Amino acid sequence: MRRAAVLGLPVRHSLSPVLHRTAYTALGLTGWRYDAIECPADGLAGFVAGLGPEWAGLSLTMPLKRVVFPLLDSVSDLAVQVGAANTVVFRDGLRHGANTDVYGIVQALAEAGVSRPRSATILGGGATAASALGALREIGLDEAALVVRDPARAGETLEVADRLGVRVRTQTFDKFDAEVDLLISTLPSGAADGFAGLAKRAGAVFDVVYSPWPTVLVSGARTVIGGFSMLLHQAARQVELMTGSTIAPVEEMRRAGEAELAARGE
């Protein structure tokens, strides 16, 4: 038996198990199991310490993407730069951290035809916002606006911007410029609803939320990118890292994920 799981709080309704299990079936990987396990930040160290040799990897969501670093034996350069590791791979008795969120964001933008925006604004200042900065750099943008409630608490993400070489203008929620080529919301479900009117001024709106969908934020937007596409592609890269497969079955995973969302009425 080989095991993997998504950890976070909450993860009860995570779509990751459907995506990963579908990939295992499509790849003919029998004896693989993938679960969703609720784990608070202060419980991660103990959980990881108790894992046996059957474990292949972990998918991490909030609030674990930053607190995992002290538990890792090695970390990819990209994860170090963005200060967030959403993936742990167990190999040869060691724990390797990686970031597949950046890849997921880049692929989601490409699917929507958004490849080279001239300007961008990011709502939120957490780990996903840091990955969004990494994605913007990947597609050639070297400056962006970061919208946060309290600029004094955005220090970690501003440090990420410095490491990436992305110039950041910090703005606050009560007054920010949404007239940009790309508006990215990394806020929790419902938290960006009040900005739907402003979002209509953006060329494209990317909301990382995938359930419920569509969100109020994207209503009326000219070009819409949803969180499901990001989740799909970051999960596909995780499957490759954890199983050693060269190509994940993206389309099979997409169909399974869409079917599950439809069954949930979302």
Q: Is 200 a catalytic residue?
A: no
**Active-site residue (options: 2, 20, 21, 65):** 65
In this structure, are residues 199 and 177 in contact, taking their beta carbons and an 8 Å threshold?
A: no
Assign 35 to helix, strand or coil.
strand
Residues 6+ apart with CB under 8 A from 98: 75, 76, 78, 79, 85, 86, 87, 88, 89, 241
Going from the C-alpha of 172 to that of each of 11, 34, 153, 167, 203, the distances in angstroms are: 29, 39, 12, 17, 21
User: Could you give the CA distance from residue 260 to residue 253 in angstroms, rounded to a whole number?
Assistant: 11
Partners of 75 in the β-ladder: 97
In this structure, are residues 159 and 175 in contact, taking their beta carbons and an 8 Å threshold?
A: no
User: Could you give the CA distance from residue 173 to residue 194 in angstroms, rounded to a whole number?
Assistant: 10
Residue 203 DSSP one-character state = S
Going from the C-alpha of 24 to that of each of 50, 133, 147, the distances in angstroms are: 24, 31, 39
User: Could you give the CA distance from residue 50 to residue 33 in angstroms, rounded to a whole number?
Assistant: 17
Residues marked active site are found at 65
